[in-house]
Amino acid sequence: MQNDKVRALNHREQARDKLPVFFGSRDNFQHGVKEILNNMVDEILNNFEEGHIYITLDEDLKTITLEDTGRGLPLADIDDNNTPYYELLFTTLFAGGKYEKGDKVNSGTNGLGMAVLNMTSTLFEATSCNLGKEYYIDYADGGIMKTPLTFVKDTDKHGTKLVFQLDSAMYTNVTYTYEAIKFIIDRTSKVSPKITFTFTYIDNEEIFHYDSLEDYFLKHTLDHLIAPIVCPSKMYEELIKGEEFHDNPAFENPRPLETRERAEDFLEKTQIEVVMSCSNEETLLQESMLNGNNLIERSSIHDGVILGIKTFINKYAKDNNLYEKKEKPISNTDVEGAITFCCNVESNNVEFKGQTKFSTEKELYKEVAKKYIQEMLEIHAIEKKDDFVRMVKQILICKRAYEQSTKTIEATKKKLSEKVDNMNGGVDGLDDCKIHDEESEIYIAEGTSALGSIILARDYLRQAGFAITGKVLNCLKANYEKIFANLVIMNLIRILGCGVDVKSKFNKELGNFNIKNLRYGRIVIATDADFDGQNIQVLLLTMIYRLMRELIVEGKVYIAQTPKYIIKQKDDKYYAFTDLERDEKVAELNLQPKNGKVTSNYLKGLGELDAIDMYNTALNPETRVMTKVTIGSVEKMIENFEIWMDDDVTRRREFIMEHLHEYINDEE
């Protein structure tokens, strides 16, 4: 039996075959943009008083150009081994100019990002204006040099321009979106006050620049319960003693003691700045930055900020008798449910969890953040006592709400787990069908009278009915505790069977939505053909939108179009769904007076439809008029749902009557 062959991958093979090692995943196709952007930020912040970075997303959404006003990459230089710098920068892993320890702050020190990006792109162009000379080089097909380094001209400009397009064989996706690139730029710019960012896509141009962390914080947060606490930047220093390089005693002829080397002492500097406040927002902004990198995963910096707040507030609450008898102290979760913050840390000895720079686990950052927060709160408690007391009380409110919500969650989970059948956990008002599959339907009716007409006319095998009685809760305005305490909503959730998809800081455990568990192929809302009926439609749609949005996305929600008028002439019967249809039909029939008198009967509600009329207009797949609810743009839908649910009834009425039809499409 032969031994396995052992070989080393070259740099290009490492970058391409082992891409997840460097970028975390082949799904992380946006990481290259962050790497280049951060490199350009480092260049300007460490060498200039101000600068500009230009980002252009091509119309094809695949090609990106980034250009800075830095010194320009030294592409024409060579190292001590006569290796060109362009080779080190673009096709060599672990090669860069950020390895020396000192006072400079850099976003990364591995020397990987730009080389990995080049070797996993189908196109990579570099133009550099450095020391009065402009040079150009480009690569194709994953780091294969296409145009050697070329001197272009003398110039008085300085800076680097990079153009690249990812290789679809390397990433699961290579198509960017305008919003995704905008998000990356916005997060990077919040800690780069010296730099102005210009983002261009076709005819759209946006400028990003924040004068301070406070400036960014105020733009991205709302509903502050206290004035934001702007903590001044502070530097913490720790002397790291140089370690002596000892010889291994196992080696023969160890070096004499006097010849052994010792690393120099190093002064590690960690600078931190925080802006924070209390907020009632459902999703709280809690962002940490480390050397210009937005840490999208929980980090030791985040933990330090939360721990510092918890420790100080707990002590204050105990010292001032703010806890109720036998009440548990404030936890990290309680703080995270009440505080919104932005924290920026700069370190001259930076450590990330991995090359993706999504997080850091460095314990020093946690200790610095904790100490810093406690110091800042101690000052704030004296200088802004009223605001500080409101902050403490808000955290206590969130703490108690969370404890109550925990009880609600357990009760809700128990309720939702109950089966819906006549033998165990039946739901009042539900007349279920016998078969549950993609062809089955449930009609949600406005009241018991309408449900009665539906039940008389339905196909009992595959058509179920449920009556909504009383006022339907406005789920857009209500919190989740109130929503899950509502019996009608809980019954609907149980009846549908697919669970809920909630996004709440207090109810994360209830996010158990699974469309495969939906008990019916269609959910049909059946209400009267008037304003009140349309208002109920909107309230039900809002409930589904907020708790089970995917049902709308997947086209599972419909509205039954029932007639507003029944028109008769002798033995003939006609249905009119609008006033105009009625007028036109009556006028047409009156032209034939020999056929008898024409009568038009206004239906005050679905309960006035007999079984035959209900079957013909709402239940019979061959003759009914059914409409499908669509969302379209999520942003537009949210905006319009807020108008629909406006507290001003007149405004709501006008909007519903004018725009509801825009969100439903005729199916039959």
Task: Check: CB of residue 335 under 8 Å from CB of residue 306.
Answer: yes
Question: Taking 60 as the threshold, does the pLDDT of residue 667 lie above it?
Answer: no
Find all residues with CB under 8 Å of 134, minimum gap 6, and list them. 127, 128, 151, 152, 153, 154, 155, 157
pLDDT at 546: 85
pLDDT at 109: 59
pLDDT at 133: 96
The mean-pLDDT minimum among 158-162, 375-379, 432-436, 664-668 falls in 664-668
- pLDDT range class, residue 374, cuts 50, 70, 90: very high
Is the CA virtual torsion 536, 537, 540, 543 positive or negative?
negative
Task: Check: CB of residue 344 under 8 Å from CB of residue 191.
Answer: yes
Average pLDDT over residues 154-164: 97
Average pLDDT over residues 367-379: 96
Question: Taking 80 as the threshold, does the pLDDT of residue 142 lie above it?
Answer: yes
The reply to whether 11-208 and 213-239+264-404 are identical in fold is no
Average pLDDT over residues 41-59: 94
Tell me the CA distances in angstroms from 81 to 62, 92, 99, 211, 246, one per residue in order: 37, 14, 17, 44, 29
- pLDDT range class, residue 105, cuts 50, 70, 90: low
What does the domain layout of the chain look like in residue ranges? 11-208, 213-239+264-404, 418-562+606-666, 566-577+581-602
Which pair of tokens denotes residue 541?
Answer: 């749609």
SS (H, E, C) 10-61: CHHHHHHHCHHHHHCCCCCCCHHHHHHHHHHHHHHHHHCCCEEEEEEECCCC
pTM to 2 decimal places? 0.65
pLDDT at 668: 44
pLDDT at 275: 96
pLDDT at 409: 57
pLDDT digits (tens, 9 = 90+) for 496-548: 988 888 765 544 555 578 899 999 999 999 888 777 777 788 788 888 888 89
- pLDDT range class, residue 632, cuts 50, 70, 90: low
Question: Taking 60 as the threshold, does the pLDDT of residue 595 lie above it?
Answer: yes
pLDDT cut 70: percent of the chain above it: 84
| CA distance linking residue 116 with residue 547, whole number of Å | 42
Average pLDDT over residues 84-96: 91
pLDDT digits (tens, 9 = 90+) for 449-493: 888 889 999 999 999 999 987 677 888 777 777 888 788 888 888
- pLDDT range class, residue 125, cuts 50, 70, 90: very high
- pLDDT range class, residue 420, cuts 50, 70, 90: low
pLDDT digits (tens, 9 = 90+) for 228-251: 999 999 999 988 776 644 444 444
Which pair of tokens denotes residue 232?
Answer: 């001044």
| CA distance linking residue 292 with residue 141, whole number of Å | 31
pLDDT at 95: 83
pLDDT at 248: 47
Q: Which CATH number fits domain 11-208: 3.30.565.10, 3.30.300.10, 3.40.50.150, 2.60.40.1530?
A: 3.30.565.10
The residues facing 487 across adjacent strands are none
pLDDT digits (tens, 9 = 90+) for 494-505: 899 888 887 655
Specify the CATH number of the domain 213-239+264-404.
Answer: 3.30.230.10
Average pLDDT over residues 133-157: 96
pLDDT digits (tens, 9 = 90+) for 289-316: 999 888 988 999 999 999 999 999 999 9
Average pLDDT, the chain: 84
The residue written with tokens 């710019």 in the block is 189
- pLDDT range class, residue 623, cuts 50, 70, 90: confident
pLDDT at 643: 54
Specify the CATH number of the domain 418-562+606-666.
Answer: 3.40.50.670
pLDDT at 243: 60
